[in-house]
Amino acid sequence: MTAAHDLVVVGASAGGVEALRQVMAALPADFKAAILVVLHVPPDVPSQLAPILRRAGALPVSPAVNRQLIEPGHVYVAPPNRHLLVEDGRLVLTAGPRENSARPAVDVLFRSAARAYGPRAIGVVLSGTLRDGALGLAAIKLHGGTAIVQDPDEALFSGMPESALAATGVDYCLPVAEIGVKLARLTTRLDRGEPPADPGEPPAWEVEEEGVQIGHAADEPGGEGSAKQADAASGLSCPECQGSLWALKGPGGARLECRVGHAYSMESFLTDQGEAVEAALWAAINALQERAAAYRRLGDGLPGGSGDYIARSRQVEGHAEALLELLRTLIVDVEGPPSAGTAMSS
């Protein structure tokens, strides 16, 4: 017998508000499962997502509160700057390390839903950029849950749906207008009185035969069983804390994770690393320009001026200009190569 689904976890980023509104509008007022939503939002701006979704449909919607009991037929929205998890039938809010540069992160919620609800969980990935949610959706599938992805061809931003489709075998890839209807059908077993299946209690660090690592620093009980051995680091550094990164094989692909738990897909790592490189280059340019200005002040302040200091100032200014030109080239390369037949200006 297929397990009754009593928890739906939904992840979205750019373009996700409109997609979430359409999903909420299609859900009936007697929807039986609880719904937990993570949308990437700025950490220092109050979220208006709960009232937006409340107006969009018939279900009650509220911001998640730590240790709150999960009620069926209710929608809970992750607040800014807090990860949302599920544990023992309650919501848990944590200020844990960012994953894929986000807090709240979709992967954190999906991973906890996979552990706590197993085949009773439904994971939904909507519009967004990069890969957050892909590995979490793969974990839901690995634990017997159901995976739904918005059709990338109609998503405002296709990065998250495409990454989820590449990471695991999804059960349904649907236009967003059909996702709410599908969720209602998947949860009707609760109306027929079928009991939810027991997902069991998988260990926090679960390793499959092929070396698939489901665990994460946030799930690691006192470091026991951690895959992060000192002699097995990847040689890469965390863009956020500069600690060593480990390449861990997980459901749906590999991820990079540091000791304290900052976690990245390779795409998000390259994005954050690129931002760190750009910031370092801007700092170096600023330092060179300040050094040139200091030489110039020394030269101008001496009686009759000092040709030596003025010459050094010009030399350092030349170094700063060369570094600035390199930075501009790197920025253009990140934005994408010029189209064929188009020459770059000198």
Residue 104: cis peptide before it, omega within 30 degrees of 0: yes
The residue from 40, 83, 143, 262 that is catalytic is 40
Catalytic residue among 6, 83, 107, 132: 132
Separation of alpha carbons 346 and 341, rounded Å: 15
Task: Decide if 13 is catalytic.
Answer: yes
CB 167 within 8 A of CB 142: no
Which residues touch 6 (CB under 8 Å, ≥6 apart)?
32, 33, 34, 72, 117, 120, 187, 190, 196
Catalytic residue flag (residue 319): no
Q: Pairing state of beta strands 7-12 and 121-125? A: parallel
Contacts of 258 (CB under 8 A, 6+ apart): 97, 217, 238, 240, 241, 243, 244, 245, 246
Label residues 96-125 b or e (16+ Cβ within 10 Å = b): bbbbbbbbbbbbbbbbbbbbbbbbbbbbbb
Q: Which residue type is seen at 289?
A: Q
Q: Which of 13, 101, 265, 268 is catalytic?
A: 13
272 is catalytic: no
Structure tokens at 64: 């998640």
Bridge partners, residue 12, by sequence: 39
Catalytic positions are: 13, 40, 132
